[in-house]
Amino acid sequence: MEYLHAALVLHSAGKKVSEKGIDAIIKAAGGKPDDSKIKALVATLSSIDIEEAIKGASVMTTAISGATGATEPAKDEKKGSEPKPEEEEEEAGDDLGLSSLFG
């Protein structure tokens, strides 16, 4: 993952994504670069429009977050009250069940 991050740093700085650049960033971060991984990444990214890939990833992230409801707070959070712990609800249900058995 650090190799991809290094490539994105180069891209966002307006630099060409190159083996030398990624190698330098990994070393600057205190890592030990793997030349074969760097070559593979640079070769893969050479056929990709990074800016379009970033835009597509942003749309996907937004769509996924919206679909899972991760961006909206729960109803209890909207009201400002804390949700009730599940244990309390279960205990109340147990008490009602036992009291109904014994009248």
DSSP 72: S
Q: What pLDDT, on a 0 to 100 scale, did the predictor assign at position 52?
A: 87
Residue bearing the bigger pLDDT, 70 or 38: 38
Model pLDDT, residue 54: 82
The pair of structure tokens assigned to 50 is 């990074």
Instruction: Check residue 87 and give its pLDDT.
Output: 53
The model's pTM: 0.55
How many other C-beta atoms are found inside a 10 Å radius of the C-beta of residue 32?
6
Tokens standing for 4? 């991809």
Please give the pLDDT value at position 85.
57
**Rounded to whole angstroms, how far apart are CA atoms 48 and 1?**
17
Tokens 């793997």: give the residue.
Answer: 34
Could you tell me the domains of the chain?
2-68 (1.10.10.1410), 73-103 (no CATH)
